[in-house]
Amino acid sequence: MKIKLAEALLRRKELQNKVEMLRSIKDNNIFEVRATRKQVSDSIDDIVAKVPKLKASQVTAEFDWHARQLRLTDAAIQQANWTTEIEVQESVMDDYTDPTED
């Protein structure tokens, strides 16, 4: 499939944002199950548990997929970067020279 370089650059930005968002979720402790148990009386215990809403594997799989897409997109952009020549004025590549020095 062929796409415009501008589309690839936009896709790369979109994927970078998604990967960063998923990385923060993946790195958080939202997957840790914590429980506390307090004895209220001889026959009754009060149990409080924090249960994650997602499985770690769900986020990890999505993160891995988006990270792979990002790598593939970036590789295509880099290939275009190294193989494409553009037309510029010669002065674009000149170094700065102080006009006050003679």
Q: Is residue 76 part of a domain?
A: yes
Q: Is residue 19 part of a domain?
A: yes
- Picking from 25, 33, 36, the residue whose alpha carbon sits closest to that of residue 51 is 33
Q: Is residue 91 part of a domain?
A: no
Which domain, by its residues, includes 37? 5-84
pLDDT for res 41: 74
User: 79: pLDDT confidence band, cut at 50, 70 and 90?
Assistant: very high
pLDDT for res 80: 92
The answer to whether the CB of 40 falls within 8 A of the CB of 46 is: yes
Q: Is residue 97 part of a domain?
A: no
pTM for the predicted model, two decimal places: 0.61
Q: What whole-number distance in Å separates Cα of residue 17 and Cα of residue 85? A: 29
Overall number of domains in the chain: 1
Q: Is residue 94 part of a domain?
A: no
Q: Is residue 72 part of a domain?
A: yes
Q: Is residue 100 part of a domain?
A: no
Q: Is residue 92 part of a domain?
A: no
Label residues 27-58 b or e (16+ Cβ within 10 Å = b): eeeebeeeeeeeeeeeeeeeeeeeeeeeeeee
Give pLDDT tens digits for 40-53.
677 777 777 777 76
